[in-house]
Chains A and B, each alone.
Chain A
Amino acid sequence: MLFCFFNSKAQIQDTSAHTVGTKKFFMPGAAVAMFQMNSTKGSPTTITFMPVNIALFPLVKASDRLFFDGGINFNVNTDGTVEPQLIELIAYYRINEWMSVFAGNFSPHYGVYLGLLDDFTNRFGVGVPPVGMGHGLQNQNGLGIQGGFQAGYSKFSYQLYVANGPSLVVDSTVVGGNNESGTLNYGNIIDNNKNKAIGWHIGYLPFSNSSFEVNFSGEYAPKTGDAGTPFENVSNLTWAAGLNYYHVFSPVMVRVIAEYDKIQVGNANYFNPDTSVKNHIYTFTNQQNGWFAGATLRASGSKKQFIKNLELGGRLSEYTPPAGALWGTTPIKQTTMTLTEYLKWDIPLSLEYDILTQSGSPTQNILSAIIFFRF
């Protein structure tokens, strides 16, 4: 592999523009507006206009090699207040053809969406995110290297980083399902122990047109508990395998996206404050997994612009929480159908229908209409 690196480097000239000393600033943005109808057996149907959510992305090209990438999201709370939320804040320095170093607060490249794709690129709508996704990694504070390189007709992409990693949640006060003991918190800016987590992503694109990618990504944290506590040495391994493929079988473009996630947190003894239980000390196998698989069809060869810009999507998803956790539930299954019309290349208008089923709970039917636009 190393030989491929050097070989590629030797053949490919650095063709970038020489604009050292020229700073360029640009701040694009994005907004999402949604209307949602939720019908659950035994509950009154709700019909809601959701508030518009706006995000801004300040980008600075400080030199030919130095680049700053930021993102701020403005969330509207249910009480109408607005809360700014950091999406990312990263400094990149390009070393050569196939490698950049980076540092800051970043979304790791994980699975097929995190770190790369967002609401704008979600072809199945964002009314109800797939239940089998979003349980894995979240934003990290750390540094690493990343890039892509050619290996013959194939291509590889990679990311390797060191970060503070997650901290284990230990709660001995809350009673019932809101007790989140055993979950992981990625929100801490200051690390809770001396140990660091290592994360990776390796993507393989075997075809010369980059239309097919399989990737394997994850993070290992040897210690997640607070320093000096019995939970300090509780480890965590989170990993995902993803697939993204598109091809035009003229006149139809087919796209397949799939991901499998697994979270494996080490065992620990937690305290259940519920006075109705006999034994307050409990443990459980702290493993959870999820997956989703979807496909879309688009008549990209149609001569009628409206038809050409129409995309039909279907997705299946499932999430299995750990049995025995106070916050754990029974597995959830989700079926999604989406019809999207691209008003412009970056403005999808989606009509999404989700069916959520869970043992012991009534089936939920959710209809969402979403418009996403960039500015």
Chain B
Amino acid sequence: MIPELGHYALVLALALGLIQSVAPIVGAKTHDAALIRLASSTALMQFLLVAASFGALVTCYVTSDFSVKTVFENSHSLMPLLYKFTSVWGNHEGSMLLWVFILSLFGGLVAAFGVNLPATLKAYVLAVQSWIAVAFYLFILLTSNPFLRLPQAPIEGQDLNPILQDLGLAIHPPLLYLGYVGFSISFSFAIAALIEGRIDAAWARFVRPWTLMAWMFLTLGIAMGSYWAYYTLGWGGFWFWDPVENASLMPWLAGTALLHSAVVMEKRNALKVWTILLSVLTFSLSLIGTFLVRSGVLTSVHSFANDPARGVFILGILVLFIGGGLSLFAWRAPMLKQGGLFAPISREGSLVFNNLFLTTACLTVFVGTLYPLALEALTGTKISVGGPFFNLTFGPLFVALMFAMPFGPLLAWKRGDLLGVAQRLMTACAVGLVAVAITFAIKGGASVLAPFGVGLAFYVMMGAIIDLVERTGLMRLPMATVRTRAAGLPRSAWGTAAAHFGIAVSMLGIIGAATWGTERIVSVSPGQTISLSGYDLTFGGLVERTGPNYTAQVATFIVREGGVQIGVMEPSKRNFSARQMSTNEAALMTRGVSQIYLSLGDANKDGAIAIRLYYKPAVMLIWLGAVVMMLGGALSLSDRRLRVGAPKPAARAAMQPAE
């Protein structure tokens, strides 16, 4: 009964979605306030229905109702409750339901919190949002119905792919989807603006919080995915330039560019057309990401069992929305009025520079990701484009971007003083150079680029601090004045500084782990001691342990530093009987921001076992940096000028219909 209810709720949501796709537009064209208001109600109702549908699927999974096909294929009655819950989206059908659930959530949020939006804009936004929703409801109902029943209910399920039986599945996909799907709002706003043919600084003020929110979730989602891959795949890599990773990086790059260009639009009423285009492109990249991961054109942990019909369907959605969005842009964008003027050397100019480099970097990732697919489709030649390609293309662009980053916030709007800013950044340069020298002194010249990378990271961090020092007048003005200025400083200024600081922190972690990491891949016998980077690990032996739905071979290692025991590491291999599959559970020991990483290979008959032992210096900074970036976003979001529902300028109030 419950699966049928869930299915039915989704069909109802589709019906409402169809109404919401048309009625508000008719209302906006004919100035029919009732039809315009309808959009908010249907958006909220759609959210409730999809939530009910999602809840029904969760119920099926949690109660292990194996008469439902996807539950049978992806769950097992012995799994811990958390994994029963997370396996809802550990498969194609369920993950698409999560996708539309989040989509309807954002639609509902716009309806509920967009009270101060101009009525017609809101009507158009919700209508466009509903177009996307309808396309994906149809996709689920026609090709990927998660509620399909089996004619005879099996007694036991086939278990979830063991790699996915991890806390990571509870965190990474929902965060990533909140990011991906969150950009649908800026897309809908852009399309609405194009339909209306009207766009102003207020538009940017409405869009920015949504974009910022999506960006925060995407940042954290990518970082958590990276950490999950790091500890679960067993060889300590944190980024593989795998197409599915690139699929999430591209919307992030475009979204980051969008955040910055929206600032120019909001503050200076310039770059309007470009901001609209970026909004369209960012969500298009999210859709391409969904297509790459969900269509089965790529093989990876992310692609579940697939049939070709789905790929074609998603491709259709892709062509419709990206093609439609860009065509509408080409048609209507010339009608949008040009905005304010600015000199190339100015805050606006620096943000243009930021956009230029971010979008170009995004383009190189796009080429590297899709070129192999296109080549194979056209010529049948199979190639793989891996890390070296991206390091050679993405790397230099990002270095240039990092170098310019501290200049931006220090430049004045309209016309900036490059020399003056350079002088103010002298301290940052000095700190960077000292960092280069110290790194060379400690680590030697084995890698020439890495110390300069460290210097660059310190320069950016110092630059972020100098920005705050300049704004608050610290060291120049009396303490009391500084305090008032700090209190009066908009939160978004703190957010900018934090986010810029965060990316430098991540950069330090990447350089540290990639350059100065050490590793040993050896075979050890019980009692034997292995040394790496000042740590001694003694292998105690293998023991068997039984988990709820697996048996594990656990190896015990005593870790000593300078002869003193500092802990025990227990990497293991788990064998899942239901799928006859094993997973590698690496053991991690965090020392400051560095980690010791130990994972198991094959066991020999004589009791020896192959191990991979890594020392990853500063590796935790990669993800800590991402968290700092996200917190920067949160600070910015809490800025009262940006808060959803903040008071609008009095002049605009007159245009609002009384509601």
Q: Specify whether A and B are partners.
A: no
